[in-house]
Structures are given as C-alpha cells and as structure tokens.
C-alpha cells in the first residue's frame, strides 16, 4: 500500500482527490433525470407512460445512490465534512434511507470485513438467500439462482420500511452486530429524512391517485429501484472470482492482511464500459474503491493501471471481469454453487464438514 499510495499520489499531483467537477455535474444531471421522472408520474395521462415514468424514477434513484449518496457517505465527495453530511441527508431524504445505519453498515462493516460471515451485513438477507460460503445450508436455497431476482426486487421495500426502523429501535444491524449509540443530531436526521421521503413518495401518491394506482406505481418504482441496485452491488463480491475468508474460532481473526483481504474478496466488472462507469458511480471499479474508499470515484479509472501494476509486482490478485454479461454469469453461477446441493467456492481455508 505504501508503494501504491505513492504512485497514486504522483498520478493525482496537486489534485485533492475530492471536489471533482465531473461528479457534481453528473449528480446534477441525474437529479434532473429523477425530478423529471417524478413529475412525469403525475403529469402524463396514459397509464403506460406513467409506468415508464415509475421505472425511470427507480433507475434514476439508484443513480443518485451510486453517484452521490455513496461518495458523500464515504466523505469522498468533498473535502468539507459539512458538505458531505448535507448531501448525505439530501440523498437520504429522496431515497428514504437511514444515513446513520448506511454509514455503519457500508463504511465500517462491509469495508472492514468484506465477505466475512456474520460481519459483512451485505451477506445478510434474513435467510432469504445464501450469499456466504460459511452461511448454514438449507434445502430452500437449492433453486436460489432462479428466484434471487424476486428477492432482490423487494430490497428497497424491506430496507426503507422495515430494516431501518428495526435497526433504529433495537440498535442492532443484524443478529450478530450491534450499532453504536446515536447522537441527538442523528435522531433528527433520521426522522427528518423519513418524513420527507414518506411525504413525497408515499403520502402524495395515495392523495393524488386511487389506492390501487398508487400501490401499483409504488411497487413498480421500488422493483425498478431495487433491481438496479442489485445489478451493480451484487456483482462486486458474491462472485466466482472472490473468496469468503474464514474467521479462526480460537483467535477471532482472519489470517489475511487488510490489503490482501480487500483484493481477494473483490472484483471489478466491465471496466471499459463507459456508460457503466458513468452510471454506477465507478462501482464497477470495486477493487480501486475498496483500496481508496475516501477517493472520489471519478478518479478510479485513472488509478486502475497503478493498482493493477502494483498487484502484479507484489503477487496479489487483481480480479476484473471484462464484460457486464460475464459478471452476471459469474454471480448466477455463484448463487447456484452456494445453493443446497452446491460445490464449494473459494475460501482462505478448507471448509469445515
């Protein structure tokens, strides 16, 4: 990492690695996209046009999450902490997420413990899917590679309307992980964002439209939102190329250094696909993101050559799947292998019987 950081510093020169004009411009474009989609739901007359508007609203909402919320929550949007906090709140108000819980789930648990069972909450689906190598097997997972999209489609409904509130009142991320105590400002931020979101995306549709039309529109919007998120986030770690490290039961530790852990559990996908890089907020450069989470994602394609070169020199893996369809295939195969009658995936140690 010392060698790699030196190379990245040379490449960036005097640039701070944050406050990148391209990111602000892109976020503004996606905000306009989301706003126009929102207005189209109410202003367009035909039902088919409203359906398209709901789908567009869901995809653009995911785009806000990928590009602005993700960077702001990491502190990589701006060098000013107040600006990062402000944009995190604005995004959470538009997307319905609890920012305090997202930061703990993503910045701490996921980035410090990627693909480690009972620590990385991204592997936790309330037993809906088996996403981890050391998650207990069950007959219900046998065909998860077929029904996973249906589980993914309900992600935001469960997250925004159930999980956030369970975490708020229990201060537990899941059955294994506690959440640090919230400060008064965190409580205010949580409830303010939820009230704004529910007013705009729940109360207003039911006030304007019939109950059936509002309900159908909300479901279409959330299915679109959820599947778009899954189509990016799930292709970074739950893959054939990635390992699922084992925690030593005696010491409670993983026999991997921090850098090696990030590299063995993470993969890039479609790095040369310019639209994917633009829309996904650079999350297709997941290796670079995990090594430099505080760097604006707009720099990831630029530093990728340094990361790849350094990994080769020090004999560390650098996983990268050339195409998006190849990444989807790898994720599908991983879900299949993790099913009940499954062959083992990569792991740092032999899987216990």
Determine what percent of the chain is predicted with pLDDT higher than 70: 96
Q: How confident is the model at residue 345 (pLDDT cuts 50, 70, 90)?
A: low
- Taking the CA atoms of 319, 324, 328 and 329 in sequence, report the sign of the dihedral they define: negative
265: exposed, middle or buried (Cβ count in 10 Å: 0-12, 13-18, 19+): buried
Please check the confidence at residue 93 and state whether its pLDDT lies above 70. Answer: yes
pLDDT at 241: 95
* DSSP helix, strand, coil percent of the chain (3-state; round to 5): 65, 0, 35
What does each C-alpha distance from 29 to 5, 62, 171, 235 come to in angstroms?
Answer: 32, 13, 36, 25
Q: How confident is the model at residue 352 (pLDDT cuts 50, 70, 90)?
A: very low
Please check the confidence at residue 41 and state whether its pLDDT lies above 60. Answer: yes
Q: How confident is the model at residue 349 (pLDDT cuts 50, 70, 90)?
A: very low
Q: How many CA atoms lie within 13 A of 283 on its CB side?
A: 24
Q: How confident is the model at residue 248 (pLDDT cuts 50, 70, 90)?
A: confident
Q: How confident is the model at residue 16 (pLDDT cuts 50, 70, 90)?
A: confident
Query: pTM here?
Result: 0.92
Residues 264, 348: Cα–Cα separation, whole Å: 9
Residues 276, 274: Cα–Cα separation, whole Å: 5
Residues 291, 265: Cα–Cα separation, whole Å: 12
Domain boundaries, the chain: 258-322
Q: Stretch 108-125: mean pLDDT, rounded?
A: 94
Residues 27, 303: Cα–Cα separation, whole Å: 22
330 or 137, greater pLDDT: 330
């Amino acid at each position: 990492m010392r060698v790699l950081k030196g190379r990245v510093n040379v490449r960036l020169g005097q640039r701070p690695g944050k406050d990148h004009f391209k990111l602000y411009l892109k976020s503004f474009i996606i905000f306009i996209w989301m706003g126009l989609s929102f207005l189209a739901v109410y202003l367009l007359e035909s039902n088919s046009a409203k359906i398209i508007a709901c789908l567009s609203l869901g995809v653009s909402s995911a785009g806000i999450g990928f590009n602005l919320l993700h960077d702001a929550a990491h502190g990589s949007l701006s060098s000013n902490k107040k600006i990062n906090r402000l944009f995190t709140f604005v995004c959470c108000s538009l997307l319905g997420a609890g920012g305090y819980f997202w930061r703990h789930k993503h910045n701490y648990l996921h980035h410090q413990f990627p693909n480690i069972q009972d620590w990385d909450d991204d592997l936790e689906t309330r037993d809906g899917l088996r996403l981890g190598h050391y998650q207990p097997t069950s007959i219900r997972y046998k065909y998860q590679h077929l029904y996973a999209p249906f589980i993914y489609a309900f992600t935001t409904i469960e997250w925004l309307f159930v999980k956030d509130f369970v975490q708020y009142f229990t201060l537990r991320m899941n059955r294994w992980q506690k959440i640090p105590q919230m400060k008064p400002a965190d409580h205010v931020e949580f409830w303010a964002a939820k009230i704004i979101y529910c007013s705009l995306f729940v109360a207003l549709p039911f006030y304007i439209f019939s109950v059936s039309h509002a309900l159908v529109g909300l479901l279409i919007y959330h299915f679109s939102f959820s599947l778009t998120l899954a189509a990016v986030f799930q292709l970074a770690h739950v893959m054939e190329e990635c390992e699922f490290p084992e925690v030593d039961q005696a010491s409670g530790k993983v026999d991997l250094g921090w850098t090696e852990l990030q590299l063995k559990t993470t993969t890039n996908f479609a790095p040369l696909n310019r639209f994917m890089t633009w829309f996904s907020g650079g999350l297709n450069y997941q290796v670079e993101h995990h090594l430099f989470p505080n760097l604006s994602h707009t720099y990831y394609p630029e530093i990728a050559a340094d990361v790849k070169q350094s990994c080769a020199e020090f004999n560390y893996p650098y996983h990268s799947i050339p195409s998006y369809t190849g990444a989807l295939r790898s994720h599908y195969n991983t879900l299949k292998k993790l099913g009940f009658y499954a062959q083992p995936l990569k792991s740092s140690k032999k899987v216990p019987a």
